[in-house]
Amino acid sequence: MARAENHDRYLKVRGGWYYYYRHIPTRLRPFLSGNTIRVALKTQSAEIARMRRDEFVAADDEYWTQLRLAVDLEAAGQPMQTGLARKRYEIATARALAVGFSYRPLAELADPAHIEDVVRRVLAVRDNPAPDGQLNLAVIDAVLGGVEAPRTTISEAMEIYKTRIAVNELLNKPPAQRALWHATKDRSLRYFVDVMGDLPVTEITREHGQDYFAWWNEQLSPGDSDQKPKKPKTAARHFSDIRKLYTEYFRFMGDEARPNPFRNLNFKGKSRTVIPAFPSAWVQEKIIVRGALDGIVPDLHLAALMLIETGCRPGEIINLRRQDIVLDDAVPHIAIRAREDREVKTETSIRRLPLVGVSLLAAQRAPDGFARYRDKSNAFSAALGAAFRRRGLFPTEDHVIYSFRHAFEKRMQEANIDYALRCLLMGHKHDRPKYGDGGSMAYRRDELLKIAHPVPKDLFEDFDRVAPS
């Protein structure tokens, strides 16, 4: 007969208040304080007590498992690893939070400026005694900073950030986006370690932050004429990655009050490369003509033409699915929206765009989207850009595939299309009060027809002849 589940295991009630109460395994008692764990859960609700109890149980189980392993390894002649110290520190921070305090090391609490905080902490120790009525050593360690912070290096902190802290941030990213995210974080870490060393994260000071900031400023205007200057955008991205890592790591450790040594150090200069728009005459005379794109991969051919009258980002076009290309509606359109395995750039990026002109004709030939390049926007832009350069379809060396988006926006401006509608169709934010939802799809279509390029009747003649039936 199966034993009935005990929903209140490790819980005790005294005076209506719940406590987490658990015996420490005998084998581990020599390495820990006391024989039992007793923590006030600060609630009279059984449901809340069980939730807090479960957090302590999970933390203690993990800690004790690692401790048993460490003891076995030490008995075999191997030293205990830093992971054990880190886990003990995490347990202490969790216990401090459970009684209402952020974990602070003893050296920090010794500062006379924190005397009021110390008094509150001492009272909390008094209010959370051991089962025998004596002082609870585990609570003392947690609340009064008696557990030495592990010498976790910034490389180790980054690994913790990537694998344990930022998990939710990556949930809806497709594999390609996750890989890019990891690569960027690794590059930011590599810059810091190469310049400052793999410092223990608890020992990084304001002076380190200032020195690293100064190094990046030197990269923006290097004294060596042979060294290519870095862009402010590059400096800002990699510097802010380290700043965020520091904040998120210590928030995760329960030490959110710790001052960030990289705070208020910013690269505000803009080095944004201005991407020119395609001239309308160029698109009409060089691109929307029979034979201009013949011979390239069909997905490249059709996706390029869909960019012209939608103004979409390349990644938005090549990630369209069958259900996003709506051709049987009174107003054929595409839907840019989030999906479970892919994020959109911003909330304002979510939108519906009428299909007109050459983009409608291309969509009719690609009702299932572009499987060859789905989730491969960089590969798509590179391949299409190379095809355009081979064919002389860029007016200048500064033009890129993204120039179609800028051309779309410029044509809307020149046609005096309403600003709010332009923002909606581009997926941009705007500061004006929101009245309505941008009008009906028919209205949007009619506005876009004002700027649509004429399409030669023979444009798809060669494409349709060789396309698979």
What pLDDT is attached to residue 200?
87
What pLDDT is attached to residue 207?
85
CB 441 within 8 A of CB 354: yes
Residues in the chain: 469
What pLDDT is attached to residue 306?
96
pTM > 0.75: yes or no: no
pLDDT in tens, 115-152: 887 788 888 777 777 666 676 776 777 777 666 666 78
Domains and CATH numbers, the chain: 11-143 (no CATH), 154-252 (no CATH), 280-466 (1.10.443.10)
What pLDDT is attached to residue 27?
73
Nearest to 424 by CA among 360, 352, 332: 352
What pLDDT is attached to residue 305?
96
Report residues of the chain scoring pLDDT below 70. Answer: 1-5, 30-34, 66, 69-90, 98, 105-107, 110, 130-133, 135, 138, 145-150, 223-226, 268-273, 338-349, 429-439, 467-469
What pLDDT is attached to residue 348?
54
What pLDDT is attached to residue 127?
78
